[in-house]
Amino acid sequence: MSPTLLQEGSDHHALAGAKNAAFAYSDPLSEIPALSGVDISADGSTPIIDMEALLGPHRSEVIKQIGIACEKNGFFAVKNHGIPEMKINNMLDTAREFFHLPDEERLKFRSADPDSVIRLVTGFQDKTRNVFVSRQSLKFHCHPVEEYKSHWPSNPPSFRENVGEYCASVRKVEVAILEAISESLDLERDYIDKILKGHYVSINYYPACQESELDVTYGVRTHTDPTLITILMQDDVPGLQVINDDKWINVNPISNAVVVHVGDILQAISNYKYKSLLHQAIVNCEKERVSIASYCYPSDDAMIGPAKKLVDKVHPAIYKDFTYREFHESMWRVKCSTAKRLDLFKASTD
Ligand code: OGA
Ligand code: NI
């Protein structure tokens, strides 16, 4: 099962521009912020973690910084992550080439099955809210690379090699960061790695703004990710925004750094110490934008409740124990705001 994102209504809508797209999911309007209220010129200050320092004598200090960033901000940027710059550039170039292909070439990957090993999701109009969501994404499993590679596009011809190399490198970052996050919670180093299963990549393509008769165009609307953590690689075009201290802030690209943010599953494991980050992407009219999201998710049978070590009289369990399979199934069954998905798994208070 993949950590498919529901909030986009992705399996219920038709192609960009389609009229009357059925939309099975409903966010209260109040949960969709007005973009006009966002100051896009301001860059929030992004905590920066030096991953190289995790391997050196100052590991415990870096772990502390990671813990503070997860608790206070819900995200941080990682530099010196070890993914070679060439692999990053190849990945971004390949992503652009794929989305510049003719429609018929890309649309081969369209699928209504959220569990298919690869699928293309296109932009859509949500007329009930007068919103156009412009993101197109190619979503696929990629760990282990050799198991899934044959399902990936063979056009552009560099796709499998470049994407495979990027995914294998990101996997190492995921494991190292999850180890550090476990330690930041005072858990054994491999506490989270033990339940980690795969990662699922979403190559996101945001065309330069398109004409729409609707009020608002989003890249992707406000949501949390149903992941342990998400590792986002952005190109050099800003667009990512996150909520910090009840305000939207921009997380502008930092050259050769990736953004790591807390997802729903880590919120549950940490017993609500680390909160799943509310984020969105906006578009601009001058430039297309590409980002690569790697969603780290646990195996289906993994027990996801709060780590026992984090529960005591002062910190009662906020969530009950549940499996990732139960969580994933409920995402499809129960239509609610992504930020409320975990409420279904709250511990009873009596
Ligand atoms: C995502 C996401 C944001 C971005 O893929 O889940 O939130 O900036 N992407 O592309
Ligand atoms: Ni996201």
Percent of the chain with pLDDT over 70: 85
| 266 C-alpha to ligand 2 centroid (Å) | 14
Q: Among 92-106, 119-133, 332-346, which range has the highest average pLDDT?
A: 92-106
Q: Which ligand is nearest to the CA of 224?
A: 2
In a domain, 307, yes or no: yes
| Greater model confidence, 41 or 221 | 221
- Ligand 1 atom with the smallest distance to the CA of 239 is 8
Average pLDDT of span 263-286: 93
Ligand 1, atom 8: closest residue by C-alpha:
240
pLDDT-derived band at 335 (thresholds 50, 70, 90) equals confident
Ligand 1, atom 5: closest residue by C-alpha:
293
The pTM assigned to this predicted structure is 0.88
| 222 C-alpha to ligand 1 centroid (Å) | 10
In a domain, 3, yes or no: no
Average pLDDT of span 217-226: 85
Average pLDDT of span 53-68: 96
Domain count, the chain: 1
- pLDDT the model gives residue 39: 55
| 223 C-alpha to ligand 2 centroid (Å) | 6
Q: Among 13-27, 66-80, 119-133, which range has the highest average pLDDT?
A: 66-80
Q: What is the CATH classification number for the domain harbouring 119?
A: 2.60.120.330
Average pLDDT of span 106-128: 85
In a domain, 14, yes or no: no
In a domain, 333, yes or no: yes
- pLDDT the model gives residue 31: 47
- Residue 262: which domain range? 29-345
Q: How far apart are CA 343 and CA 322, in angstroms?
A: 12
In a domain, 17, yes or no: no
* Mean model confidence pLDDT for the chain: 85
pLDDT higher than 90, residue 214:
no
- Ligand 1 atom with the smallest distance to the CA of 225 is 6
Cβ(225) – ligand 1 distance below 6 Å: yes
| 204 C-alpha to ligand 1 centroid (Å) | 7
| 220 C-alpha to ligand 1 centroid (Å) | 7
In a domain, 67, yes or no: yes
**Tens digit of pLDDT for each residue in 283-316?**
878 889 999 999 999 999 999 999 999 999 999 9
Name 256's Cβ contacts closer than 8 Å, sequence gap at least 6: 79, 85, 88
In a domain, 20, yes or no: no
In a domain, 18, yes or no: no
- Ligand 1 atom with the smallest distance to the CA of 240 is 8
**Tens digit of pLDDT for each residue in 224-257?**
999 999 999 999 998 899 988 888 889 999 999 9
Percent of the chain with pLDDT over 90: 65
- pLDDT the model gives residue 67: 98
